[in-house]
Structure 1
Amino acid sequence: MERLKSGCILWFEGLKEACCLHRVVILCLRSNSLLLRTGQCFLLNGFIFLGSIFLLNSVVIPALWLILPDQCSHLVSHQLCDLPSTFKFYSFLRLALIHLFYVLWFYPLYVFSIVLSTIWYNDIAKYGYAAMGRSKFTVDKVSSQNNAPTTQDAYQAKKPSGLGGVMIGIGEQVYSVLLLSVFFLEVYATGFIPYIGKVLNFLLLSWMYAYYCFEYKWNFNEVALDRRLDYFESYWPFFAGFGSPCVLAIFFFSPLVGYGIMAILFPLFVLTATGSEAEQEISFEKYKWRAAGVERLPIFYVANNVSMWILSLLPLEKRDRMQDMKAQ
């Protein structure tokens, strides 16, 4: 019961942090660039993308059913009812026009939205981080309360400068992309497990979106990949709670509608994570949570092993270089 209580407290702490959307308003008021990028994201994904889906379902498809009906009573000329192939042709034509709408509009818009939104998300996080600095938020609260060098300072001291440091950074980014790609496939696969698949899918999606939200902040703080994963797996109830509202908003919609909603909400949760100091507050109570039974959960165990197996398939020289970068 004590473990369950501690886990629930951390989960609700993460949920509370995700719902602090007033930070988005505060940060947007402090940065015109942030307000512009956020508005562009809403315009593209909300007005254009979701508006196109609404237009298709509310106007285009009903109009096609009106022009190409499937009942004789709806035909202008009842002589067409005598032709057995009329309704088959109408059905084929309706389906072809709808698919043509998807091919010529939705799919290109979907790809365009993904590419452009990915660029905008990074800008939103960057402008939000800058606005947070101007608002006297501290990005290294741990070091301000302890005169001894922090682990991050030690990492910066150990990390070589110049080309070596750049190569290590590139290696970390490549491994991070590979790790998260495998984890995404793992999340997708859990949806097909009978009975408990939906629950596992919801939980893993919550962790995945929470990690994506905090990853921007950790990148700006230059937090090493191994520290990110260790911290994330150590306080897994907090991040499960943080990612729950993200997933809940899209879980019961079709994939296209769910993507449009998430594309609107994701920058808001990124800004909420950027302005959050709760994960630093929790880290001060590390031993308290460990004593209560909140142990590290190896969330990325499967993804890490699969990623290392993929790296083992590379040529020996490249593989050793990648593993050395990961070890750094």
Structure 2
Amino acid sequence: MIPKSKQVLLLWLEGFREACSLHRVVILCHRSRKLLLRTGQCFLLNGLIFLGSLGVFKWFIDPALLWILPDQCAHGGFYAFLRGGLLQLFYVFWFYPLYMLSFILSNIWYNDIAKLGFEAMEESDLSSAEALRQGEAPTSLNLANADRPSGLGGMMISIGEQVYSILLLTFFFLEVYVVGVIPYIGKILNFLLLSWMYAYYCYEYKWNFSGIPLEKRLDYFESNWAFFTGFGSPCVLAIFFLSPLVSGALMAILFPLFVLTATGSGPEKIILAPRRTWKCAGLGRLPIFYAADTFSMLALSIFQLESPHQIQHEKTG
């Protein structure tokens, strides 16, 4: 029997390696010209325009204003005030609107990138989609939706899942922010929760297009928390020590790459292989979304809405 700590470490390393398998992005973009175009648009907006604007501001505009309006002069105080006002104008009329534009367009493009990547993946030998179609996937990620009713019942479940998912991830994001202000251990917890959040975001696109019910996604994610911690770690490492605007721009560039690596990966094979090798039952489920789920259910009860689990139970009962 392999110690649990070693299992966690090895699965974390597997997840980290999967996230860094960026060669999948090249292969998928080679297979789909539309995917290459959409990914290029994302790089152009967030990399060249947004991140480039931040670079021009930091290395040219800010030093130029400091040279034109120096502090070491008779009117240094007034110049400093004027320079600060001009810098704020740059933020208000350029960076913040550009950030909002980048946020809106990027979220639209992420869905397109994930969809095109999923379509390209189904035609390639990269993915686990073929294994899933052949019935090699574990039952926890069985894509068959035979238990989901069709017609109006299925539509109600889908709408309920979307509402619940939005609430769940919103409360989880707030949880990430709150734990970050805890003294001493806040940064560590913040890094851990951010890793889970980005890992879930990356795989959610694939699971959506695969038709996996929300309940199974959450169960699978929480049951394989060590792997997904490793997968989300490179996402967080790239932005963790940067300013909010720079980290936002950099993540907007990197996120579609991680979405495509998740789309082209087969975590169920990687996660189950060590278990078969070590003849152990796994690490057990970690209630990552417990607090977010509690607040989501409370919000649904306040607005007298039903959770997707309740809707599905009523329709199948």
- Asked if these proteins are the same fold (TM beyond 0.5), I'd say yes
Of 138, 141, 165, the residue aligned with 2:131 is 141
Q: CA deviation at 1:292?
A: 5.8
Separation in structure 2 between the aligned mates of residue 300 and residue 29 of structure 1, nearest angstrom = 37
The unaligned stretches of length 5 or more in structure 2 are: none
Q: Residues 288 and 233 of structure 1: is their aligned pair in 2 closer, same or farther, counting only changes over 3 Å?
A: farther
Are 1:313 and 2:302 counterparts?
Answer: yes
Aligned amino acid, residue 30 of structure 1: R
Shift of 1:284: 6.2
Q: Which amino acid aligns with 2:310?
A: D
1:1-328 to 2 correspondences below 5 Å: 2-72=3-73, 81=74, 86-136=75-125, 137-139=127-129, 141-142=131-132, 144-145=134-135, 152=142, 156-283=145-272, 291=280, 294-315=283-304, 319-320=305-306, 324-325=310-311
The offset of 1:91, in angstroms, is 1.4
Q: Note the alpha carbon deviations across 1:159-211, whole angstroms, 9 max, x for none.
A: 12122211210110110010000000001111101111111110110000000
Distance in 1 between residues matched to 2:143 and 2:262, nearest whole Å:
22
5+ long unaligned stretches in structure 1: 73-80
Following the alignment from structure 1 to structure 2, what is the Cα–Cα distance between the partners of residues 216 and 130? 12
**Contact 2:114/2:205 (CA < 8 Å) preserved in 1?**
yes
Alpha-carbon deviations, 1:237-294, whole Å to 9, x = none? Answer: 0000000000000011101101111111000000000000133442466677793661
User: CA 1:281–1:87 in 2, change beyond 3 Å: closer, same or farther?
Assistant: closer
Q: Is the 8 A contact 1:142 1:280 kept in 2?
A: no
Cα deviation, 1:22-73, whole Å, max 9, x if unaligned, reads 000001111110100111111100110111111111111111111111112x
Report if the CA contact (8 A) 1:6-1:289 is conserved: no
CA distance in 2, matches of 1:231, 1:323: 16
Distance 1:148 1:172, change over 3 A: closer
Counterpart of 2:71, as a letter, is D
Partner letter of residue 141 of structure 1?
Answer: A
1: CA distance, partners of 2:19 / 2:139: 31
TM superposition shift of 1:312: 1.4
Which stretch shifts more, 135-144 or 159-168?
135-144
Tell me how far apart the structure 2 counterparts of residues 326 and 113 of structure 1 sit (CA, whole Å).
37
How big is the shift at 1:324?
2.4
Partners of 2:117 and 2:129 lie apart in 1 by: 13
Structure 1 counterpart SS, 2:146: helix
How many residues are matched? 312
User: In the alignment, is the contact (CA less than 8 A) between 2:143 and 2:210 conserved in 1?
Assistant: no
Q: Which amino acid aligns with 2:190?
A: N
CA distance in 2: counterparts of 1:89 and 1:202, whole angstroms? 41
Q: CA deviation at 1:152?
A: 3.6
* Higher gyration radius (CA): 1
Instruction: State the alpha-carbon separation in 2 of the partners of residues 257 and 188 from structure 1.
Output: 18
Contact 1:2 1:293 in 2 (8 A): no
After superposition, give the CA deviation of every residue in 1:88-131 in whole Å (9 maximum; x if it has no partner): 22111111110000000000000000000000000111111111
